[in-house]
Amino acid sequence: MKLCLLKNANVSGKTVFLRADLDVPLSQQKTNNRQQTKIIDDSRLLAWMPTLEYLLKNGAKVIIAGHLGRPKGVDKSLSLNPVAKWISNKLKIENLKLKKINLGEFDGWEVLPSLFLLENLRFYEGEEKNDEEFAKKLAGLADVYVNDAFAASHRKHASIVGVPKHLPHFAGFRLEKEIEVLSKVLKDPERPLVVLIGGAKLETKLPLVEKMHHFADYVLVGGKIAKETESLIKVQHEKLNSAKSMLFVGELNKNETDITDESTENFIQVINLAKTIIWNGPVGYVENKKEDSARASRKLAYAIAKSKEFSIVGGGDTLGFLRNIGLSEEFSFLSTGGGAMLEFLSDNKLPGIEILY
């Protein structure tokens, strides 16, 4: 079975439900004594713009939908209004006046007569519960479904797996590219293959660390998960008789905001051996402005860039960090997914992709 691709779809005159990746970092800023919400990093939005432009150019009416953050019910601080403004600015719409509308039972905005954005889908219980009736209501808004949200495709949510059950469905251009690049690495990577995993999401990353033992030659673990999982990871590692990788767990500094210089140098020595490098999650608290807790992550980023070997980086925090230090262009491929990327490379089936075959 082949993946259903957007380039093979007839969208002219159709209403397309575009599941896009709208989960971007926000900040509150004061402008002219008014509090405004600003998008800090728009890379995830830029990733699906070619799909949107293609749909509009080919005569489709488009309803964009997605989520932002992890709200518990309606949360105005996580409204998609800043994203609606971003889309309007990106499309260079003059005399912008976003019009609040309702499509069926869903709130949203009219950006153009042929372009709409729904409010944060996670404001509705039915989204994360993958409620069948909720999915039917969303599907009832459109004729065709397109998924271009790789970063959410490992979730069994209504807009990811429920809606495409009821509509002709296709993979957008960015999703197609993610699958193409990551499949090549999964099938036949140049070795040694080094996987560097940091960050703080213990519940999602620990099982993936374990699975990387069967895929990688070296697994490097840093960040908050290093402290919380050091003994557990090592015990699991020893139990895996078929594990092919060598495991290195970074030691944290005294205030636990970064890994130590010694661990950083050990990681760099391993990186210098690599022919393929996969990185997900900073190894320090890179958002901390009061102290240099991004030192190790910065050194590792420069080491990977300097190596000139094939490198993939994923995860919002990591991508934002690389852009801040001006190194994002030095990596071979920037994946929009964090957890989704690791799930894919662990050879797990991503529900949002499987439904498109």
Q: How far apart are CA 322 and CA 203, in angstroms?
A: 25
Segment 292-320 mean pLDDT: 93
pLDDT of residue 66: 98
Segment 43-66 mean pLDDT: 97
Q: Which two tokens stand for residue 43?
A: 């890379």
What domains can be seen in the chain, in order of their start residue? 6-176 (3.40.50.1260), 189-345 (3.40.50.1260)
Q: Is the pLDDT of residue 53 over 60?
A: yes
Side-chain-side CA neighbours of residue 342 (13 Å) = 25
Segment 171-191 mean pLDDT: 96
Q: How far apart are CA 141 and CA 118, in angstroms?
A: 11
What is the longest distance spanned by two Cα atoms in the chain? 64
Q: Is the pLDDT of residue 287 over 80?
A: no
Q: Which two tokens stand for residue 260?
A: 């130590």
Q: Is the pLDDT of residue 215 over 60?
A: yes
Does residue 136 contact residue 129 with C-beta atoms inside 8 Å? Answer: no
pLDDT of residue 144: 98
pLDDT of residue 249: 86
Confidence of residue 92 (pLDDT cuts 50, 70, 90): confident
- 63: β partners: 17, 116
Q: How far apart are CA 174 and CA 178, in angstroms?
A: 6
pTM: 0.91
pLDDT of residue 317: 85
Confidence of residue 98 (pLDDT cuts 50, 70, 90): confident
What percentage of residues in the chain have a pLDDT greater than 90? Answer: 73
State the residue for tokens 């008014």. Answer: 34
